[in-house]
Amino acid sequence: MAIRPVILYPDPRLKVVCPAVEAIDDATRAVAQNLLDTMDAGPPRTVGIAAPQIGASTRVVLVDTSRSPKHPGGHGLLALVNPRVIASEGDQFFREGCLSIPDYTANIRRRRSVTVEALTLDGEAMRVDAEGFEAVVLQHEIDHLDGILFLDRVSNVKTDLFQRKVR
């Protein structure tokens, strides 16, 4: 399909709550493929992307934490349609970044483990149990579908928000 430009903060499209996918069709699969192409073309440690980040207001995310050299493991590439967290427990802090906010990272409190229900691109129901880094990435990407950015979850801007180092 195509590599799409990543929408950057403060673009208002990042703050929109995406409607549910009513029927998985070629358009839904095209969004997923565009997400994958864009993720593949991004920085090498890109582990997740959500449809609103490429200008598509639909509930589709891709997550692949196996791309992270610091946090190997996880379920591999997940293409999730209408994902939602149905259970969670524990707390953890993680340093998060985002393709849509490339100049900053932040320490964010997230749930340590989550159970996510979603549909596959074939319309099959699926459930993902994740913990640690993969749980964080799932929560981060699902937040995008609800118009929530990691900046919205920063507890203390003075101590928890960091400007990225220029490389």
If you average pLDDT over residues 83-103, what whole number do you get? 97
Please tell me the predicted confidence (pLDDT) of residue 167: 59
- Catalytic residue set: 141
Domains defined along the chain, listed by start: 12-163 (3.90.45.10)
Q: Please, are residues 51 and 31 in contact by the beta-carbon 8 Å criterion?
A: yes
Q: Is the pLDDT of residue 159 over 80?
A: yes
Question: Rg of the chain's alpha carbons, rounded to an integer?
Answer: 15
Q: How far apart are CA 114 and CA 101, in angstroms?
A: 24
Task: Provide the pLDDT confidence category of residue 165 given band limits of 50, 70 and 90.
Answer: confident
Task: Provide the pLDDT confidence category of residue 46 given band limits of 50, 70 and 90.
Answer: very high
Q: Residue 144: enclosing H or E segment and its boundaries?
A: helix 132-145
Torsion of CA 163, 136, 68, 21, to 10 degrees: -110
> What pTM, to 2 d.p., does this model score?
0.97
Over residues 143-158, the pLDDT tens digits come to 999 999 999 999 999 9
Longest dimension (CA), the chain: 45
If you average pLDDT over residues 104-129, what whole number do you get? 98
Over residues 9-35, the pLDDT tens digits come to 999 999 999 999 999 999 999 999 999
